[in-house]
Chain A
């Protein structure tokens, strides 16, 4: 029911592309859809209104009406507008030139502060060879301090020893003294989650900031956030004068309208995005890429990078050679299935390729889901090594085994999927 933003805009622009010349009325119609699409992507209403107004002004007028391909022109204007709104170029974190670099993490409950603290520690340590100290000021959520301690252990950085009964300010003091005394390059203060309307706790985090004087105060927010993004971002920015925003759970399927909203109301850059639960799933925010992705123009850069990360090149070459020689077995096929899964599944891959946004919807409707892959992997698993090498050996015993696997292993109808049949 809720198509994502790129689907919506693609539909709009498809319509425009089909027409030769573009009338003012067409732009109006397109903008109505753009508005709805942005709202469904959770961009906050005031931001949507501003955006649509600017875009309309730019679109209606000579540059569009006189251009040869009006639809493309509008696509470009909307794309550029989104990019601008998202903040032009990527902005990096402050450098640890004058140690210690102090970073304060703040945000709502469950937004991803602690996880991001661990990710940042890893990044400074591994990529910049810095000596990092993390400290949890979260005395409220059960076992929050332990959580950070465990994460620190995993990434191999120091974590401030837990002292029962100390409040956030006392912990801050201790963290700063330790950082200065023991020559840490970076100290990251992870705070408890708090509601922007909780006066007492907002005052507490402001006091922590006063004491620690961080060079970076990062607001950590969930990419799935709805219209509340505006209020939360405004409130935290007012109290902390944040230096940047970290948007977590970008590995989800939310279109991330919150990015637009928060950026627009605070004017602060989105510096990083979280793309997973593991400590290396932290990436710089690229406004250009996100704008392109929103528009369904494909996130080709990300696709290439993902492929580089996940595809074992040697393995890939081996498979390619086998294919050429005609000795590509079901074992090999399964390896490929696994590779696809690692890269975010078929849907994930498709989403990153230009022009497939529309097909994806049709795929979804046609029920071409990736469970087929899972099922095939299961079937292959249940074969003997011999059968895998030569599917012609598959006999009655195999059929029986497959039947036993029931709905997990068998496609409807109880036959071997044609894709797996010997040619």
Chain B
């Protein structure tokens, strides 16, 4: 627990410095008036919470403390509390059901968000727990995407299913699932090509992958993950909306939280969609995946020590 915390905080610390400085500058100890609230709202907006969410959080603070003299830490604690409350219901780790053989996880998202890397990390984590893991390289579009994933499969010690670049992704998904069943694997992770949510032909292709999996096992895919880049701003809302329309997304993974982006849009997403956030990516290494933890995330965002 301590190590994941440190790692996450290490990343979030730098990223939250500006937010924290902003909040601190506003509230060293002064009356919580409209002007102070507006500045606070601005600070939250700069953390990518979005205008609506920032207003919501600020409104709660107003309701609770308006007109009172408030200190810096007190305000931060209160804010972290509100944010953690919003996040708590969605903090839900992904645990493959033992009954499903294999437990099929479809991984989707826009280009470059971290799908392939996340699959490598998940595979390593689950293989480490003694599960027999398979990976299907259904990004048959991007140059060297198969080679990239194959290296991850090697690192994780996972069974690897591939086809040539340009091959039919859904066909490979179908075959991989058949093989995984035959071989009695516990988990099958399916990588897909990055695609923009507004491209209907590409989203149809994703639907097709989803459909052919269900042909063999009605419950498959058991989980459909949408991988979001923490650097993304408000467009994340559209991504969730449209990917959900296509494949019934069951959970989110947020990557690149080790960077300077604060990932505040996650708070707004939790509020708007209530989709589970399973994990966060905090680096490019195989171990840099952490369970998403509401209070830790909220407190780290505001640069508060763990409770």
Contacts and interface: CB of A to CB of B under 8 A. Distances in A.
Contacts of B149: 142
A154 interface: yes
A149 B236 CA distance: 32
A225 B148 contact: no
Contacts of A42: 233-235
A119 to B, nearest CB: 12
Instruction: Select the residue from A142, A251, A252 with max chain B CB neighbours within 10 A.
Output: A142
A348 B197 CA distance: 13
A166 interface: no
B197 A257 contact: no
B200 A374 contact: yes
B151 A1 contact: no
Nearest to A37: B51
A154 B112 contact: no
A104 to B, nearest CB: 19
Contacts of B256: 108-109, 195
A49 B261 CA distance: 20
A285 to B, nearest CB: 19
B143 A150 contact: yes
A197 interface: yes
B112 to A, nearest CB: 3
B86 interface: no
Given A45-B45, A253-B238, A277 B111 contact: yes
Interface in B97-149: 110-114, 141-145, 147-149
A277 B112 CA distance: 11
A370 B200 contact: yes
A9 interface: no
Interface string A117-140: 000000000000000000000001
A355 interface: no
Interface string B241-271: 0000000000000001011111001000000
Nearest to A44: B46
A93 B180 CA distance: 50
Contacts of A222: 112, 229, 231-232
B152 interface: yes
Contacts of B294: none
Interface string B34-74: 00000000100111101110000000000000000000000
A36 B262 CA distance: 20
Given A110-B113, A142-B148, A151 B143 contact: yes
Interface string A38-50: 0111101100000
B198 A252 contact: yes
B167 interface: no
Contacts of A146: 143-144, 147
Given A197-B260, A253-B238, A225 B232 contact: yes
Contacts of B272: 1
Nearest to A230: B46
A99 B204 CA distance: 46
A227 interface: yes
B151 A110 contact: no
B214 interface: no
Contacts of A371: 200
Contacts of A111: 112
A231 interface: yes
Interface string B181-225: 000000000000000111111001000000000000000000000
B7 interface: no
A226 interface: yes
Interface string A183-206: 000000000000111000000000
A42 B51 CA distance: 10
B159 interface: no
A142 B201 contact: no
Nearest to B204: A374
B148 A143 contact: yes
Nearest to B112: A110
B196 A251 contact: yes
Interface string A17-48: 00000000000000000001001111011000
Interface of A: 1-2, 36, 39-42, 44-45, 108-112, 140-144, 146-151, 154, 195-197, 222, 224-228, 231-232, 235, 249, 251-254, 257-258, 277, 341, 345, 347-348, 370-371, 374
Given A2-B234, A146-B147, A251-B198, 15 more contacts: A36-B51, A110-B111, A110-B114, A143-B147, A147-B143, A150-B144, A150-B165, A195-B256, A197-B14, A224-B233, A226-B48, A231-B260, A253-B235, A341-B200, A370-B200
